[in-house]
Amino acid sequence: MSATWTKCLNTLKDSIPLPIFSVWVQPLKAIEEAGKLSLLAPNKSVMDYVNKNLKSQIKSAISQHNKNLKIFIGVAKPSSQGIWKNTTALFPEYTFDNLVLGNANQMAYSATRQIAENVASSPYNPFIIYGGSGLGKTHLMQAAGHLAQEKNPNIKVMYVPLMDFVRNITNGLRHQTIEDIKAYYQSADLLLVDDIHLIAGKEKSQEEFFHIFNFLFNTKKQIIFTCDQAPKGIKSLEERLKTRFSQGLNLHLEPPELEMRAAILLKKAHNSKINISLTEDTALFIAGHITSNVRDLEGALLKLKAFVDFSKTKHPFISKEVVENALGELIKPAIKNIDINDIQKEVAKHYAITISDLSSKNRKQHMVLARQMAIFIAHSLTTLSLSKIGKHFGNRDHSTVLHAIKKMQEKTLEVAEINSAHELIKLKLANL
């Protein structure tokens, strides 16, 4: 750095408010040679701001220390150090079109899409999507990058996994190119950082990231992070970073619900990589047992594909029996002793009636079917006697309950729609 500029920085620090100094003056790179002081900004927006608002103060400070220097304010050229090799391209498949929507991700999807469509003016900055592993956080974040580029091909979208950022900072310190690296990240219009929680305990990375964050935030550039938890809960994270991370929009991504898991399986089963035939019922069956996250669903699907390929299964559609053989240890046993109140709630919800309707004497066909379904499931998933089950359904006697069970045994064998409803309700109860 120029010796004159070092002295000028001390002078300017006393005359310019600290937020303006740190955002607009500190990032300038100074080169002094042949009677000329070149002040190089990391990007054009910084250069324009400095020329318009700070040029006279900078000139005055420089003249105090060296009246003979000519001053040039421009934009720094990219470094040849190769620091950009560690940035990661957006994954082509991580788009909004390839995202399966459900209750678990609807709000995060809506917010991410709105931000991507309004990068330059979004009020949600920074935006942090947090939650457990394999829930689709990276997919959502990168989808924002793809959409932002579609809306404006000239926008600079930068995606970086946190550990790549740490490696870049380490290399910058070793090769004395830290200012180049900071200037590179500060040139982003949309910065996407994956797994920001991994910065915890890395003091130098936190310090440099703080300056990058401040610069981007103050120059109205959009920042999106993924995290495994709410930022305020990250241990060994500087308080000043916690405060800045929490000042934006933080949204929790929930594990996908049953129907969403089944939809994900169906979508992924039909892509070119896997290409196996699943019915909705089979997808629901798998989704009812693989309840953790999307990554585990993908793993189960690949295992199923391997079983079908290597065993040379001939079925046009994969049956429940094939799934049980392929995914044996992943399939949990049926859950017994479920509360009968939960059964009534789930059946009433499925048939769009009230719980009290299940205990009424209403003989409409729709009501009778729902009542018999609830009794049938209560008999299979609880240890209650027939008479005790009857008490929960308007004090119906032993013979009436037995009749309902026998009727539903026949209907689930003969009517595909009723059998599907039976399986779906049981899957939802298993996932309560």
Q: What is the bridge-based pairing of β-strands 36-41 and 29-33?
A: antiparallel
Instruction: Evaluate the omega torsion of the peptide bond into residue 126 and state whether it is cis, within 30 degrees of 0.
Output: yes
Q: What is the pLDDT of residues 264-291, one digit of tens each?
A: 888 888 776 677 888 888 888 888 888 7
Q: What is the average per-residue pLDDT within 83-102?
A: 77
**Domain 258-330 belongs in CATH node 3.40.50.1820:** no
Return the residue matching tokens 């979004």: 122
Which pLDDT value is given to residue 226? 95
User: In whole angstroms, what is the distance from residue 19 CA to residue 38 CA?
Assistant: 23
User: In whole angstroms, what is the distance from residue 424 CA to residue 306 CA?
Assistant: 27
How does residue 336 score in pLDDT terms, banded at 50, 70 and 90?
Answer: low
How does residue 398 score in pLDDT terms, banded at 50, 70 and 90?
Answer: confident
Residue 202 has pLDDT above 90, yes or no: yes
Is 340-430 the same fold as 106-252?
no
CATH architecture for residues 106-252: 3-Layer(aba) Sandwich (3.40)
Q: What is the average per-residue pLDDT within 69-84?
A: 69
CATH architecture for residues 340-430: Orthogonal Bundle (1.10)
Which pLDDT value is given to residue 213? 94
How does residue 337 score in pLDDT terms, banded at 50, 70 and 90?
Answer: low
Q: What is the pLDDT of residues 343-368, one digit of tens each?
A: 999 999 999 999 999 999 888 999 99
pTM of the predicted model over 0.85: no
Which pLDDT value is given to residue 389? 92
Where along the chain do its domains lie?
3-75, 106-252, 258-330, 340-430
3-75 maps to which CATH number? 3.30.300.180
* Residues pairing with 130 in the sheet: 227, 252
